[in-house]
Structure formats: C-alpha cells, structure tokens
Chain A
C-alpha cells in the first residue's frame, strides 16, 4: 500500500492568474458559477456556462486528465441521474420509445443531457477551486468570508484552525500508519488476505495504536500551542494578509456578469 502517494487537498501548484487570485475571490466565483449553472435552462445558456468554465480550465493549466480522473468516483451518480431523468421526465405527445412501463420522451433526453452536464460542470468548477488553491489559503479564505458568522456565535476561527491542523497532521499520521503497519506485520499481522470482514478485523491492531498516538499528539500539540500564547482567534494578526487586487475585482465583475447573462437568457427562454 503506497500511503505516501495520497495527495490531499488535491492542490496542483502553479503560477497562473487563477493560482495567484485571492482565495476569497475564487470561492465567491465558484458560488457565482454554481448559481449561473442552476439558472441555466436551455441550450444557449449551457453553451455560455460551458465556454466560461472551459476558458477557466485552460487558463489554470491544470489539464483535462486531472479533472477527468477526479470525476471517476462520481461516475455512477452521474449515470444514475442520467438514466432516471431519461425515463422519469413526462412529456407531451407520444413517447419516442416505449418498453413495458418505461417511456422515453424527447423532453426526457434533453433533461438527462442537461442534468449530466450540470453535475459534471458543478464538479469541475469545485475541482478547479481546490486544484488551484492551497489548502491553507482555502482555509484562510473560508475563515475570512465566513467571519460574519462569528456574530451569531459560530466558532469560525476554531473550525478553520482545526481544519488547518488536520491538514498539517495528515502526512505525519500517514507516516505513523506505515510504521505501525510494518511493526504489526513483523509480528505476524496479515492485512492482505481474507474476505472483507477479516480484512476489516485485521485493521483493529492498526487503528488502536494509531488512535492512541493521535490523542497523545493532540495533547502535546495543545500544550505547545498554549506555550506559544495561543488564546483563540481574539486579537490575532496574520503573517500573510489576504488582499483583493485589480485582478480579483475584474474576476468578480466577470462572475456577476455571467450570472446576469444567464438570467437574461432565461427570460428569453434560451
């Protein structure tokens, strides 16, 4: 098992405009894009949203391969949604095909195509966000954007801190898992053979020490953080200040424009 190969946060370092954009801009753009996507009803609007995303993917230099590869786990959902839409969309007039109780109307075909496109676009645009933004910046951006929730006592800073610490400890814990696995294998543990239940049971001698060690680490880290004067988000400053620049305003304007265009197209039934 090559645990070290797991890439987390799925961040592809780069130096494109998309990479350099403020994380908050990218999060807002993603939200705007999803709004535009759900407002799209007909062919022309879909062409517009597809074109916009295609341009963004091209700018990011992430590569189609990574995006298509990331799509694989959700393939079943996409296909299932397509099939359901295909058969369960009632239409006017006669069905195109009728097998037993299953009827396919022209509307069903369109709705299936739109649904599949919608899911694919939705996933691609969120991928683009995580592919071009490092996990730390993403956390910072979210903390900053959701800051208003602090007023209603949502512990935004604490959640962001937990997230970044989790990210920090993933490689450490993966390393530890490798070590415990080797140690248990050396004592005759078998992680590979047997059926699913046996395999799951074989994980117990791996998970117990891992959990104990994680708790010990958490305890030590908490003390170390206190020693470095951590006392919550109150009065904290940051080394790296988030700052909107020209490019961010321009991108946000484009995002709003996209939503406006889609709204107008919708009015005209396009």
Chain B
C-alpha cells in the first residue's frame, strides 16, 4: 500500500493524569491517508482529533496499535527525522511557532536544521514564501504581521522543509474571517498545484466541506468517513455527537423533515439554490 502516506492501525492513546485516572483519548482509530489527497478531520473539542494529528509525525506515540508514515513506524527512533521531514505540522497559534525575528530567517529554520546548503536554502525560502504569497514581506519582523499573514509564514516554514504531507491542527482557530480565508486558499493551492497531501484538522463545517474527503471523529473514534457530500447527509448522526452541518445541508434537512422532496447532497450555495428552484418549479 505504497500510495498511503499515513496509515494508522488500531491506534489507542491514553495518558495518566496527576490523579491517576487514565482517560482514553483515542480508542482504536483506523485511518489511511492517500498521498496527494486533501482530507479534513472534523470533530468537537475533546473528540481526539488534535491528539490524532500529533500521532502523524511522532510528537505523540500510540499506547496501542501503530502509526506508519510512508511505511516507517513512528515508534522507531531511528526514523524520527525522516518522519518529521515527510510530515510537516502547522499549529493553531502562529505566534508560538515562529522562531526567528525576520520572516525569511524563520522560513529558513527547517532547512537549516536539515543541513541544506545555503544556496539551496535561499531557493527553498523564496519558493516557499512565493507559494504562500508572503514573498514581499520576507524582511519584515513577524510580530508586525496580521494573524493570517503570520500563519502563512508558519506554513511557508513547513513547506521549506519540502514535506510530502502537511498536517494543520486548527490553523484558523485564532484568525479573523479575512485571515481564515487567506490561510484556507493557501492550503488548497498547495494541494492542487504542488500535490502535497493535506490533512486539515478543524471544527469549522465550511472548511471541512472544501476537502476531498471528510473524517469525522467523536469520543476518540472515527464515526464517519467519506466525501463531504456523503458525510453531511448523515445529519442525525452528526447532531448526536454535537456537530452541526453546513447551513445549506441544514436548510435542506429541515425542509425534508417537513416532508419536502429535496436532495441532501446539495452542499454548495449554488447547488442548494438549484435544488430549491427545481422544487418550486
């Protein structure tokens, strides 16, 4: 199964708190992520989605089961650097992942750590900054940038490592709507143009709806897996675990409850409008 970049098999994770209780955060997760795909992992707070993300580049190791990155077992110390350069990770708070006080120096951090020659670093930094549209800010101090810009710098810092997969753990949670849009566009571009596998951890329905594949997590388990259209049709199940569905699906679902004959898979605004229009015809 070489086309799976990440393979989680029966992954369990629990930790021991100071009081001696061991809450189970991941309860047997099986997940395969295909190379080049754009996967969104959706879940409520405490569903285990962030914990799962941290298993994808060996920040956390499973207490049961195994995670393989490009065939390498994350529990194997010898592969640690290879795993980390294969799967890059972007976190929620851009302030806490920017290391240097000049944008380009920060983007250079990962290639510097990997011992890439200086001329090659220069090229990677320039390419990465262009890819996220921050090239003209290369000599700025990061703290003077907006949240969305900072997060794009953080993404550039990961791209410069040339990973095959990028895991983004709620990258838009601390951003305003403009910043969210900037970051999401950047992510989608990366996936489309460079073929980088993207795993987007989120609790925003509208972000999840833009992925090719949607994995829904609740109570440490995968409860739904499929295209956004397929998954969002399971309105009752999603509601049962405290998740909402996109407004379009919500509207169609409500109308269906009232006995109207509408499809549930009209996810975009246009499709939804079309469906309603056809009904009224």
Query: Could you list which residues of chain A lie within 8 angstroms of chain B, going by C-beta atoms?
Result: 135-136, 164-165, 167-168, 171-172, 175, 216-217, 220-221, 223-231, 235-241
Contact = CB atoms under 8 A, between A and B. Distances in A.
Contacts of B105: 136, 239-240
B22 interface: no
Interface stretch (B26-34, B110-118, B172-180): B110-118
A221 B99 contact: yes
A238 B96 contact: no
A229 B161 contact: yes
Given A221-B97, A224-B96, A235-B115, 7 more contacts: A164-B101, A167-B101, A216-B96, A228-B88, A229-B110, A230-B113, A237-B116
Contacts of A241: 118
Contacts of B96: 216-217, 220-221, 224
Contacts of B161: 228-229
Contacts of A239: 104-105, 108, 111-112, 118, 121-122, 125
Contacts of B101: 135-136, 164, 167-168
Nearest to B95: A172
Contacts of B199: none
Interface of B: 57, 59, 81, 84-85, 88-89, 91, 93, 95-102, 104-105, 108-118, 121-122, 125, 141-143, 157-158, 161
A229 B79 CA distance: 12
Given A229-B85, A231-B81, A239-B121, A168 B113 contact: no
A139 to B, nearest CB: 10
Contacts of B141: 171
Contact of A228 (B102, B110, B125): B110
B84 A168 contact: no
A220 B109 contact: no
Nearest to B109: A228
B138 to A, nearest CB: 11
Contacts of A217: 95-96
A127 B157 CA distance: 34
18 contacts: A164-B100, A172-B143, A216-B96, A220-B96, A223-B91, A224-B97, A224-B99, A226-B84, A227-B57, A228-B158, A229-B85, A229-B110, A236-B112, A237-B115, A238-B121, A239-B118, A240-B105, A241-B118
B99 A136 contact: no
Given A136-B102, A171-B141, A221-B96, A227 B88 contact: yes
A236 B115 contact: yes
A168 B84 CA distance: 24
Contacts of B115: 235-237
Contact of A227 (B84, B98, B122, B142): B84
Given A164-B101, A171-B143, A224-B91, A237 B112 contact: yes
A168 B100 contact: yes
A175 B99 contact: no
Contacts of A235: 115
